[in-house]
Structure formats: structure tokens, C-alpha cells
Amino acid sequence: MLPSFFQQDITVIRPGTTTSRGSTVYDWTKTTTHSIAGCSVQPASTTLDINGRVLGISEGLTAFIPYDSDVQEGDRIVYDGDTYTIEGVPQPSISPTGSISSIKLHLKRWEG
């Protein structure tokens, strides 16, 4: 059981797969979604890129979600109306007492 301040919800968008030139690739036209309640989503980073051609903003979040949640690399996460990619792989963390075990997600979005 996670602490009571884990009160945010996220939505997981999972792509389907298809075969292209002999390889299995994501198919974002065939997605499934499900919600995960009891999360803690925290700010992690933000950057502003002004390279003369485009003004870009990057935002990173760290999400702690219940340990038994159905999430995997390649999924996208919707939080507070914005869509984020999972950077790297979900990182399970088992507490010594088992009371605050969770999965840590590094989330990133870019617009510009």
C-alpha cells in the first residue's frame, strides 16, 4: 500500500504491433488504454531550446506508480492532459517492508 499522498491518476497508451520488413514495430494506429490510480507525479526537469529555427520546450516528470501496475517500455503516459513518453524502462523498487514498493517512470515530452 502506497502512502496516502499518492493520489494522482495516469492513463497508459499501449501501441499495437505490426511487421515491417521482417521486424516487429509499434503500430500507433492500434492502441489500447488503461488507467492507473494512486500515483505520485513530480516535476523532474525542464529546458528551453532556442536554436534560431524553432523554440522548443522539453519537460520531464518522475512518476511513482503502484508496484503491480501494468506498464512497460514503449508505452506512452497521459497526465494532466499532456502525453509523455517513458524514457528508458520502468524501474521497480521493492521496499524492505513491502509497504511502499513502487515502479518509477521517467517521463518526457517535447513541444515546439
Residue owning grid cell 506512452: 76
pLDDT at 56: 84
pLDDT at 85: 96
pLDDT at 1: 52
pTM of the shown model: 0.85
Which CATH number is correct for 8-111, 1.10.150, 3.40.50, 2.60.40, 2.40.10?
A: 2.40.10
How many other CB atoms sit within 10 Å of the CB of residue 20? Answer: 10
Q: Rounded distance, CA 74 to CA 12, Å?
A: 10
User: Would you state the cell numbers that stand for residue 29, as one nine-digit string?
Assistant: 494506429
Looking at every residue in the chain, the average pLDDT score rounds to 89
How many other CB atoms sit within 10 Å of the CB of residue 92? Answer: 12
Instruction: Map out the domains of the chain as residue ranges.
Output: 8-111
